[in-house]
C-alpha cells in the first residue's frame, strides 16, 4: 500500500515522465518541435503530473474541450528535483510552516507550487492516498521548456485504446497498457517541505 503522500512515476536513471493534456494546436507544434512553442503560453503557470490515471480523471480520457491530446513529456530528473527543491505547498500546513503568514509569504514568492490531490483508479474513483501536481510558474517556465524537456510524445492513441477497453469491460487488459509507475525517492530536505511521509 502506498504511503499517503509519495511520488509514483515512470522514470529511469536520468529521466522522469510527466503528463499534460492540451488542444490539438498546442500539441501538434510541440510534438513537431519536440519542445513547447507558441501557441503554448509562456506567461502563465503550467501544471505537470506524473500520475497517468490522475490526468485521465482530469481530462476525462481526452474528452474535455482543450484537453483532447495527451502528451507524455520526458524531462530530466535533475530538472524535476530542481523544481521540487523550489516548491511551496498550495495550502498552509502547520507541520511544514511555523505560521500562516510565513507560508503566505513563501507561497506568493514561489517559483513552483505543489498540490496533493486524491489519486484515482482506472474507473476514476478517488483512492485513500494522494498524487502530486507540480505548477511551474512563468518565472522559470523557460527552464522547463529549454533545459529540462528531453522528449514529447503524443500518447492520445494509447489513451483511446485503454479507454475503449475499459468501456468494453476489459479491465485487466486495460491495466496491462498502463505506464509502470513506481515510488520515487527524494532527499529528505525536499520531502519535509512537501509534506511527504
Q: State how many domains the chain has.
A: 1
Q: What span, in angstroms and rounded, lies between the C-alpha atoms of 166 and 3?
A: 27
- Residue 38 is predicted with a pLDDT of 97
Residue 2 is assigned to a structural domain of this protein: no
Spacing of C-alpha 35 from chain mean position: 17
Domain span at residue 166? 7-192
Q: What is the pLDDT along the chain (197 residues), one digit of tens a residue?
A: 678 999 999 999 999 999 999 999 999 999 999 999 999 999 999 999 999 999 999 999 999 999 999 999 999 999 999 999 999 999 999 988 999 999 999 999 999 999 999 999 999 999 999 999 999 999 999 999 999 999 999 999 999 999 999 999 999 999 999 999 999 999 888 998 898 86
Calculate the CA 50 to chain-centre distance.
Answer: 4
Give the number of other Cβ atoms within 10 Å of residue 151's Cβ.
13
Residue 197 domain-assigned (yes or no): no
Beta strands in 10-121 (DSSP E): 15-22, 46-48, 69-76, 87-89, 112-120
Determine, yes or no, domain membership for 1.
Answer: no
Domain-embedded: residue 178: yes
Instruction: Answer yes or no: is 39 within a domain.
Output: yes
Is 105 inside a domain boundary?
yes
Note whether residue 47 is domain-resident. Answer: yes
Q: What is the pLDDT of residue 197?
A: 65
Residue 194 and residue 114 in contact, taking contact as beta carbons nearer than 8 Å = yes
Q: What is the predicted pLDDT for the residue at 1?
A: 65
Q: How much is the pLDDT for 189?
A: 85
Amino acid at each position: 500500500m502506498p504511503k499517503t503522500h509519495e511520488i509514483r512515476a515512470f522514470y529511469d536513471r536520468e529521466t522522469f515522465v510527466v503528463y499534460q493534456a492540451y488542444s490539438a494546436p498546442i500539441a501538434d507544434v510541440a510534438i513537431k518541435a519536440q519542445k513547447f512553442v507558441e501557441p503554448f503560453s509562456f506567461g502563465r503557470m503550467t501544471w505537470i503530473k506524473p500520475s497517468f490515471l490522475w490526468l485521465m480523471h482530469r481530462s476525462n480520457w481526452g474528452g474535455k474541450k482543450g484537453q483532447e491530446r495527451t502528451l507524455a513529456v520526458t524531462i530530466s530528473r535533475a530538472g524535476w528535483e530542481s523544481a521540487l527543491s523550489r516548491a511551496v505547498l498550495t495550502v498552509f500546513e502547520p507541520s511544514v510552516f511555523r505560521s500562516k503568514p510565513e507560508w503566505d509569504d513563501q507561497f506568493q514568492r514561489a517559483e513552483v507550487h505543489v498540490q496533493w490531490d486524491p489519486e484515482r483508479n482506472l474507473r476514476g474513483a478517488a483512492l485513500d492516498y494522494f498524487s502530486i501536481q507540480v505548477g511551474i510558474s512563468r518565472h522559470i517556465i523557460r527552464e522547463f521548456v529549454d533545459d529540462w524537456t528531453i522528449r514529447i510524445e503524443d500518447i492520445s492513441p494509447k489513451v483511446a485504446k485503454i479507454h475503449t477497453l475499459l468501456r468494453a469491460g476489459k479491465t485487466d487488459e486495460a491495466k496491462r497498457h498502463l505506464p509502470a509507475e513506481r515510488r520515487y525517492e527524494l532527499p529528505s530536505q525536499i520531502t519535509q517541505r512537501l509534506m511527504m511521509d
